[in-house]
Amino acid sequence: MIDSQATESLAEASQRSASHASLSKRMLTNPTGLVAIVLLALVVLSAVFAPLLTSHDPNTASLHDVLDPISGAHPLGADSSGRDELARLLFGSRFSLAGAALALAISAVIGVTGGLIAGYYGKWFDSLSQWLTGLLMALPGIVVLLAASSVLGPSMWMSMAIFGVIMSPAFFRLVYASVTAVRSELYVDAARVSGLGDSRIIARHILTVVRAPAIIQGAMVMGIAIAIQAGLEFLGLGDMTIPTWGSMLNDGFVSMYRAPLLLLWPSAMIGITCVCLTLFANAMRDELERSSTKPSRRRRRAASRAAAFEHEPVERHDDDERSREITGEELLRVTDLAVGYDKPDGSVSTVVSDVSLTVQRGEVHGLVGESGSGKTQTAWSILRLLPDGGRVTNGSIVFEGEDLAGVSEKAMQRIRGKKIAYIPQEPMSNLDASFTIGSQLVEPMRVSLGLSKKEATERALALLARVGIPEPKRTFAAYPHEVSGGMAQRVLIAGAVSCDPDLLIADEPTTALDVTVQAEVLDLLRGLQAEMNMGMILVTHNFGVVADICDRVSVMRNGRIVETGPVRAIFRQPRHEYTKALLGAILDEGPARGPLASGVTSQTTDAAAASPAAGNVSEGALK
């Protein structure tokens, strides 16, 4: 488990750095990002090539051109000293940008180095720098700059340098957080094991992780620095010997009513630059968000594979006597379901297609496959709770005779919980850490069932007791982080059945749990299902679990069902290569699964001890 997790992390890391490589490309295809980059480039280029763009000297005053309007000689007019406004604007860009860049460089150097050292090596440097960060952030910047300028005189460079120091916590915090997060991640350990030195670990992993957020932060800092520069000039603390946007603004203020355009040019320049910097940062963050969200990764992987395995016939097993015993009415019929996600370019990436399955009352239908095979997507699409951008692109989902596609969101809300309930995979993340367990149980019951607070509380306590929680009252009042994972999963099960659903969708309900609790939770589920005569879809990657409680099983791969049929038939005669491989993998995992895979009834005691779930599985398989 650990190994696979470590590999996964490494893969993720390399993918992250790979995504950086393409980030710049994607920034260029993002319309906002492109506009921002182009405009910023124009501003920078006009500053660099200022002497080519104007023949005027930005500092040459002329008594006879004072406040000249726009003319051939002065394309943007002349300021209160008769200096050419265009020349001052262009050369002003040089100083304003350089000043902001100075602030940025200083804050980045201090913040990044400090963050790296504090985050990676910790110790006294950590506490000291945390304290200093707190101190810097506790000071209102402009007041410090006011004081500093009264001490050091009106120097733009000095102010910007000081401002850089003031802003350094922005980088410090970012780097520090990333470094501590990364440090605790396993791939750094793995890298260390593989003999990489500290500096290479930092360079390879941490810096690549931090790079993009740091660029975002940098764009913001730069924008703020430009605004602060202008603010200081506004307060009369500017250096009048050099042309800057701020000094132009100040000059414009003086003649505000006589030559209002003089205010416009520098304001526009400051505005455009700051807007572009912010847009740039936003676009970059959007791109990062897009590349780091899990669904999209899964999506991409699934999509690419789905493309490779299209048009594969489904292996169907006929009902056997056990599956024929289930005579409940049909609850759910999924026909030719396809699920897709909208991509930014307008196309749709399909992650599930041609999925058909039925669930009858009292039946447990297993949905098996490795992660990314589309099981969970199928489950979510039945609840109509697909993540952003996801939707059913084909097929139908008929629940109790009603096609859910035609059901309003309001009606869907009445179906969720009361008719179809859901048990998630990861117990901790599926409870809201900010609310007590009790309130999270009571709230849906009050909404869905219309119970009073008292009734709901009583029912919740009863449910908690039913799912095997020893001290219901205590757990009721506890926050999620105060209970164990197994307890939390029981709470989620209690929550799922709290509104008497007809169909229960359990998405890998035991995967995140200790092996010791897995069996108990499965027992509980099976018990509840039988007791309440629910239909159930059990999503799992574990054939052991399938064997234990499922009546029927569908094997999924790359978003499609490859084989479906009664559980016994599949175990006995897997037809599809993939099913065979999965069953074979169980065999490889240990002796306990061996008998199952081959359908043999022998079992070993030590295997049962090692894996109670597997033990139960064999039992179930023998029923």
CB of 543 to another protein, least distance (A): 25
For another protein, which residue of 271, 371, 527, 531 counts as binding (CB under 8 A)? 271
Residue number with CB closer to another protein (88 or 361) = 88
Establish if 479 lies at the interface with another protein (CB under 8 A): yes
- The two beta strands, 330-342 and 348-360, are antiparallel
Establish if 258 lies at the interface with another protein (CB under 8 A): yes
Tell me the residue ranges of DSSP E strands in 198-329.
315-316
For another protein, which residue of 20, 285, 343, 580 counts as binding (CB under 8 A)? 285
Establish if 270 lies at the interface with another protein (CB under 8 A): yes
Establish if 404 lies at the interface with another protein (CB under 8 A): no
CB of 86 to another protein, least distance (A): 16
Establish if 235 lies at the interface with another protein (CB under 8 A): yes
190: three-class secondary structure by DSSP = helix
Q: Please, is 261 exposed, middle or buried when counting C-beta atoms within 10 Å of its C-beta (0-12, 13-18, 19+)?
A: middle
For another protein, which residue of 22, 347, 435, 533 counts as binding (CB under 8 A)? 435
Cα–Cα dist 8/597, whole Å: 27
Tell me, letter by letter, the H, E, C secondary structure of 90-108.
HHHHHHHHHHHHHHHHHHH
Q: Which residues contact 425 (CB under 8 A, 6 or more apart)?
A: 376, 507, 508, 509, 511, 512
> How is residue 451 annotated by DSSP?
-
Of 440-448, 524-532, 541-549, 558-566, which part binds another protein (CB under 8 A)?
Answer: 440-448
CB of 424 to another protein, least distance (A): 5
C-alpha pair distances (Å), 469 with each of 134, 492, 527: 44, 12, 15
CB of 185 to another protein, least distance (A): 19
Establish if 591 lies at the interface with another protein (CB under 8 A): no
Establish if 213 lies at the interface with another protein (CB under 8 A): no
Residue number with CB closer to another protein (413 or 598) = 413
Establish if 308 lies at the interface with another protein (CB under 8 A): no
> How is residue 538 annotated by DSSP?
E
C-alpha pair distances (Å), 304 with each of 11, 310, 341: 17, 11, 13
- The answer to whether the Cα torsion of 229, 230, 236, 241 is positive or negative is positive
Residues 136-175 touching another protein, rule: CB under 8 A, are 137-143, 146-154
Establish if 371 lies at the interface with another protein (CB under 8 A): no
Of 114-122, 130-138, 366-374, 575-583, which part binds another protein (CB under 8 A)?
Answer: 130-138
Of 183-191, 354-362, 434-442, 607-615, which part binds another protein (CB under 8 A)?
Answer: 434-442
Of 4-12, 330-338, 424-432, 451-459, which part binds another protein (CB under 8 A)?
Answer: 424-432
Helix (H) or strand (E) holding 282: helix 261-292
Residue number with CB closer to another protein (254 or 515) = 254
Binding residues for another protein, how many (CB under 8 A)?
A: 104
Is the Cβ–Cβ distance between 183 and 201 less than 8 Å? Answer: no
Cα–Cα dist 231/580, whole Å: 71
